[in-house]
């Protein structure tokens, strides 16, 4: 029997909730010994009142608190006590916000004016003393469920929120300064604080500045999901830069220094960032181990399952049985949490170990407890359709992009000073071939050359660091790619650090699966695990590319397919070594190999075997395109000619960043040519009509070809070197290959 202690006119709501099979009684004359459940509102439940209900097993209160229930007596007698924590929360919070808007925006006053005296609207300052909500401070007394709901809703208007709650003991209130003292108690001096919250209301930078501590703000949403790639990059770069600075100081002083990382609670965002850092800085990444280590150091660890799922998605590792997802902590339960017994009730505002730490803190260091937020559900990953110009990888912070740009430039210039090496020393440093013409044709006859096909793909440098692989495109834009590159030798559990490759991305059609497969064709290696190779001859660099990068990765793939550890099939692309052939193989390349390629090719590349790696324009590196595909990348601009008429104009690059307009015309038969205004367009030359023809927009470039490239291409077009000419050249060069070794 269920008994409703407080007077109600009708128990229809209770009966509808409990079901028709359960009886709800409100008549105080019923047999109370038959009552097993009490429904309580204001009725005081203590030892005296319960003596009339000797067989009660559970008490459910119509309300949030337990103030009118003797919990100790219930606990002793094994009586389950539950409440309705969501009772009136949103209703009261919404009403409070409505009243705030009503008063601050003078809704009542303006409504009466509109109804009673419309003339008042003319020439009167009706907005006098009306203030914007984002300029106001909200003070909340009592940060329970209703107060917390008001605070969360008010965040849409302003982040200037403060509160007072007398029921939170001072010793359990968190202050950033408390963490500093705790660190000092174990011999660690905090020199840097990284704040991951998405608000400024928790941490005052001035408090850290007074302690001579550097304060870094990296905003992360937190509520809607794990940190984004930009924030992750910023965090890792910041910590690595800090460690590089203090390592020498620590060595000389013999002291220990540390970085304080915190979000709202210090579990999910904080845990994710620390795991990301460990994953990218250790000699061999082990995601399962790092997640477990964090949970042991900061129980229960990362408790939002979508955060953990995102980590495994990022690093392509497979969750092991040893890793158990923790339950959401009791103090984090939402308003819809299931009922708990009286003996299980705990302080909802404290983390497990705060009560053990309070001895280190003084009362003057205490701050209010941060608001609590509930997590998001995990959502499945969707894979987009594959295109050649897809933007691949993760976004990086500006500081890391700059460091990677400097490193790539330094490697391509073989460690030489960048001063004077190029006017724009942070321009894409990759080696650029020149068009084959009658003027440079002789070089193939005079030097040892090899030949390969020219893939019609996207040019990338690939920088391999311990923390991941980085794609560098022609715009010198950089993004991180999750890939594994183990070193050769017995210990496969070591990865490359500072290895730089040159190559191009293609889309291969797989006839078996009928799918497109993204592949990176690597054809040069400018640095190998910290060793600079740009001054070494090409054949030496090419051999290292095969023996130290491609082959160890093949063995790694073979091992991973046998294990249940790393999902190699989910890497964004595969990597292969692009083959080079003797000049005598040119006919086979043109007539047999290129027609059967699974991706597009627009010509041949002639590579001098003994040359160093030349950044920027390399006059000895020659490209030959099929005559109909010989092209130039222009800047297309529509300019006014007369009246309202606009005509397309073509520009190439000049010195000091200036643009040079060429006199050649572009065919205007492309109806949507106007849509490419201001873009870099690749054009081929129409010999019959003496004009350029639009081929495609170069999304991978931000600047047109330099004027010398344009001139060389025009020279090549005018020379009209055909396939027959190339084959004749190959035959005449065959004698030069007798003492050559080709990979």
Cite the active site residues.
Answer: 263
- Buried-exposed string 205-244: b where 16+ CB fall within 10 A, e elsewhere: eebbeeeebebbebbbebeebbbebbbbbbbbbbbbebee
Q: How many CB atoms lie within 10 A of CB 330?
A: 14
Any idea of the CA torsion for 718, 723, 724, 725, to the nearest 10 degrees? 50
Q: Are 669 and 683 in contact (CB under 8 A)?
A: no
Q: Are 440 and 424 in contact (CB under 8 A)?
A: no
CB half-sphere exposure, 448, CA atoms < 13 A: 15
| Degrees, nearest 5: CA angle 539-545-551 | 130
What string of DSSP letters covers 529-577? TTEE-TTS-HHHHHHHIIIIIIHHHHHHHHHHHHSSSB-GGGSS-EEEE
SS percent in the chain: helix, strand, coil, step 5: 35, 25, 40
Q: Are 737 and 583 in contact (CB under 8 A)?
A: yes
Q: Are 43 and 5 in contact (CB under 8 A)?
A: yes
| C-alpha 441, offset from chain centre | 48
Tokens, residue 462 = 């690939």
Give the separation between CA 198 and CA 3, rounded to whole angstroms: 48
- Buried-exposed string 711-720: b where 16+ CB fall within 10 A, e elsewhere: ebbbbbbeee
H or E segment to which residue 710 belongs? helix 707-719
Strands 515-528 and 499-510, by their bridges, are: antiparallel
Give the separation between CA 277 and CA 473, rounded to whole angstroms: 25
């Amino acid at each position: 029997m269920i008994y409703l202690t407080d007077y109600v006119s009708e128990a229809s709501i209770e009966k509808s909730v409990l079901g028709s099979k359960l009886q709800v009684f409100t008549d105080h004359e019923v047999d109370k010994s038959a009552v097993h459940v009490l429904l309580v509102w204001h009725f005081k439940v203590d030892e005296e009142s319960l003596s009339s209900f000797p067989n009660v097993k559970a008490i459910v209160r119509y309300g949030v608190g337990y103030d009118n229930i003797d919990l100790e007596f219930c606990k002793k007698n094994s009586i389950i006590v539950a409440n309705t924590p969501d009772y009136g929360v949103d209703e009261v919070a919404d009403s409070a916000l409505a009243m705030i808007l009503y008063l601050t925006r003078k809704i009542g006053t303006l409504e009466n004016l509109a109804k009673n005296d419309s003339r008042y609207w003319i020439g009167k300052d009706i907005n006098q003393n009306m203030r914007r909500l984002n300029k106001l401070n909200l003070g909340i007394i009592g940060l329970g469920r209703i107060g917390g709901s008001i605070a969360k809703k008010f965040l849409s208007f302003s982040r200037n929120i403060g509160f007072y709650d007398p029921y939170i003991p001072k010793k359990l209130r968190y202050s950033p300064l408390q963490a500093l003292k705790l660190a000092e108690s174990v011999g660690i001096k905090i020199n840097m604080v990284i704040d991951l919250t998405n608000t400024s209301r928790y941490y005052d930078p001035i408090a850290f500045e007074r302690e001579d501590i550097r304060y870094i703000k990296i905003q992360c949403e937190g509520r809607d999901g794990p940190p984004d790639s930009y924030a992750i990059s910023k965090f890792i770069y910041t910590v690595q830069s800090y460690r590089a600075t203090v390592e020498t100081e620590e060595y000389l002083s013999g002291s220990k220094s540390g970085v304080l990382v915190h979000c709202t609670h210090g579990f999910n965002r904080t845990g994710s960032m620390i795991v990301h850092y460990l994953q990218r800085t250790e000699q061999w990444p082990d995601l399962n181990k790092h997640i477990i280590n964090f949970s042991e150091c900061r129980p229960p660890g990362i408790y939002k399952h979508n955060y953990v799922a995102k980590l495994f998605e990022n690093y392509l590792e497979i969750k092991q049985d040893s890793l158990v997802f923790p339950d959401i902590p009791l103090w984090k339960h939402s308003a819809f949490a299931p009922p708990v017994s009286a003996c299980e009730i705990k302080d909802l505002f404290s983390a497990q170990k705060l009560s053990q730490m309070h001895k280190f803190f003084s009362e003057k260091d205490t701050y209010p407890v941060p608001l609590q937020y509930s997590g998001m559900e995990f959502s499945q990953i969707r894979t987009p359709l594959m295109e050649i110009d897809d933007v691949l990888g993760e976004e990086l912070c500006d500081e890391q992009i700059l460091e990677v740009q400097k490193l790539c430039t330094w490697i391509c210039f073989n460690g030489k000073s960048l001063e004077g090496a190029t006017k724009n020393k942070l321009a894409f440093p990759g080696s650029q071939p020149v068009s084959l013409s009658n003027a440079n044709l002789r070089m193939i006859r005079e030097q040892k050359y090899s030949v390969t096909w020219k893939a019609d793909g996207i040019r990338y440098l690939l920088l391999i660091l311990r923390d991941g692989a980085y794609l560098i495109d022609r715009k010198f834009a950089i993004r991180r790619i999750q890939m594994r590159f183990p070193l050769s030798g017995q210990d496969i559990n070591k990865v490359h650090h500072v290895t730089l490759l040159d190559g191009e991305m293609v889309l291969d059609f797989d006839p078996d699966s009928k799918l497109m497969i993204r592949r990176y064709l690597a054809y040069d290696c400018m640095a190998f695990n910290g060793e600079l190779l740009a001054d070494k001859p090409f054949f030496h660099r090419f051999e290292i590319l095969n023996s130290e990068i491609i082959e160890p990765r093949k063995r790694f793939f073979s091992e991973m397919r046998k294990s249940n550890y790393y999902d190699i099939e989910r890497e964004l692309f595969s990597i292969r070594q692009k083959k080079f052939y003797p000049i005598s193989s040119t006919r086979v390349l043109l007539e047999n190999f290129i027609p059967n390629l699974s991706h597009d090719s627009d010509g041949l590349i002639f590579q001098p075997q003994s040359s160093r790696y030349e950044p920027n324009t390399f006059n000895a590196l020659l490209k030959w395109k099929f005559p109909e595909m010989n092209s130039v990348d222009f800047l297309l601009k529509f300019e006014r000619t007369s009246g309202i008429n606009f005509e397309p104009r073509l520009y190439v690059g000049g010195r000091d960043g200036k643009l040079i307009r060429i006199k050649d015309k572009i065919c205007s038969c492309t109806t949507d040519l106007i849509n490419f205004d201001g873009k870099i367009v690749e054009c081929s030359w129409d010999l019959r009509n003496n004009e350029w023809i639009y081929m495609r927009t170069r999304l991978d470039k931000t600047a047109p070809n330099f004027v010398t490239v344009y001139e060389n291409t025009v020279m090549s077009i005018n020379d009209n070197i055909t396939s027959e000419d190339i084959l004749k050249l190959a035959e005449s060069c065959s004698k030069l290959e007798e003492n050559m070794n080709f990979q």
